[in-house]
């Protein structure tokens, strides 16, 4: 199957990067290579792009798509290891970073990857198939309380307690092996009248399990400050999120890097010594327009936020 992914907020993201032809840029979630290709088209011979993705299929597909460009380096890794990966290349600062945190169309549309609640497949959900923990391990191994917290916090599902109860009862009879089995269990835990008027009943639980399986929120939270530190003065980081949990982390971290002062409000001057690293460019997130949503319904929940590194301070 070809790696297919419709790039979300393409023009808005690349415009926000303010690409310098001789600059160095990183796409930390390379995917199908859409954002990377648009950046590469603006670079000259001195410019460089490093594409990072933990998905082997993404690296292979992007390599094929971008083979005409000589100034690209592809790395199979998680973006949380960006600093080390760049150090290995002798790069200590970059002009821009892009993260598109959505699940790719390819991952959703390849049944055996186990991301989709629309088809019956093994419960996998690993973005990096070298990872040791699968969705099946989580569904069958986590306690009822752990599943409840997971579905409540990462899925924001009001029926989290009942879903966790149904999962633990079902696996006592036999292990839950496939996405189809899990969907039926979730359906049984949600009242019929809610199922009729809401979206797909399994959507939030599948999101929660996927986030846990890939440590998505922890990775984002632990990586953002370091990525901002990688930017040279005037460099920008552009992040596209697809649900409120990710967006909240990005918004909060950007704000903290713009105004890190922890002094009490009554202090006349700052004495904590924490200095701003730059400024938030997007006071409100950039959203896809109606035309993009019509062409690609999966873009509907996308939000782009941008931060610009400031000048070095004494």
* Cβ contact 247:305 at 8 Å: yes
Residues of the chain with pLDDT under 70: 1-5, 312-314
> What is the model's pLDDT at position 4?
54
* Residues contacting 258, CB < 8 A, separation 6+: 276, 277, 278, 279, 280, 307
pLDDT at 5: 58
Q: Which CATH architecture describes the domain 117-214?
A: Orthogonal Bundle (1.10)
Which option is the CATH number for 10-106+217-309: 3.40.50.300, 3.40.50.150, 3.30.420.40, 1.10.1740.10? Answer: 3.40.50.150
Residues in the chain: 314
Please give the pLDDT value at position 314. 41
* Residue range(s) in the chain whose domain bears CATH number 3.40.50.150: 10-106+217-309
Closest CA to 104 of 73, 60, 67, 58: 58
Q: In this predicted structure, what is the pLDDT of residue 108?
A: 85
Strand pairing report for 231-241 and 303-309: antiparallel
CB-neighbour burial class of residue 221 (10 A; exposed 0-12, middle 13-18, buried 19+): middle
Q: Beta-carbon neighbour count of residue 128 at 10 Å?
A: 13
226 contacts: CB under 8 Å, gap ≥ 6: 82, 83
Distance (Å, rounded) from C-alpha 246 to C-alpha 140? Answer: 26
* Predicted pLDDT of residue 107: 87
Q: Structure tokens of 148?
A: 């409840």
Domain with CATH 1.10.150.170 in the chain: 117-214
User: Is the pTM value of this prediction over 0.85?
Assistant: yes
What b/e readout covers 147-165, taking b as 16+ CB neighbours within 10 angstroms? bbbbbbebbebebbbbbbe
Asked if 120 and 178 touch (Cβ cutoff 8 Å), the reply is yes
Token code pair at residue 7:
């790039």
């Amino acid at each position: 199957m070809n790696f297919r992914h419709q790039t979300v907020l393409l023009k808005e993201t690349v415009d926000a990067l303010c690409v310098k032809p001789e600059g160095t840029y990183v796409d930390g979630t390379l995917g199908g290579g859409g954002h990377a290709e648009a950046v590469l088209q603006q670079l000259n011979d001195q410019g460089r792009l490093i594409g990072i993705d933990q998905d082997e299929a993404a690296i292979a597909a992007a390599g094929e798509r971008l083979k005409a460009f000589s100034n690209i380096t592809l790395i199979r890794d998680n973006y949380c290891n960006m600093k080390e990966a760049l150090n290995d290349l002798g790069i200590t600062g970059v002009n821009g970073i892009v993260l598109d945190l959505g699940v790719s169309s390819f991952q959703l549309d390849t049944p055996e990857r186990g991301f989709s609640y629309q088809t019956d497949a093994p419960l996998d959900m690993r973005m990096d198939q070298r990872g040791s923990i699968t969705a099946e391990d989580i569904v069958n191994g986590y306690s009822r309380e752990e599943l409840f917290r997971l579905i409540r916090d990462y899925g924001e599902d009001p029926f989290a307690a009942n879903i966790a109860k149904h999962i633990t009862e079902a696996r006592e009879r036999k292990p839950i092996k496939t996405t189809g089995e899990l969907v039926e269990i979730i359906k049984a835990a949600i009242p019929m009248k809610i199922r009729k008027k809401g979206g797909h009943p399994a959507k939030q639980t599948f999101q929660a399990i996927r986030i846990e399986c890939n440590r998505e929120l922890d990775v984002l939270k632990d990586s953002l400050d370091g990525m901002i530190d990688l930017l040279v003065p005037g460099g920008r980081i552009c992040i596209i999120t697809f649900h409120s949990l990710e967006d909240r982390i990005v918004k909060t971290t950007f704000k903290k890097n713009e105004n890190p002062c922890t002094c009490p409000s009554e202090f006349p001057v700052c004495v904590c010594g924490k200095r701003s690293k730059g400024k938030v460019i997007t006071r409100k997130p950039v959203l896809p327009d109606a035309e993009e949503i019509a062409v690609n319904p999966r873009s509907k929940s996308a939000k782009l936020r941008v931060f610009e590194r400031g000048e070095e301070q004494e």
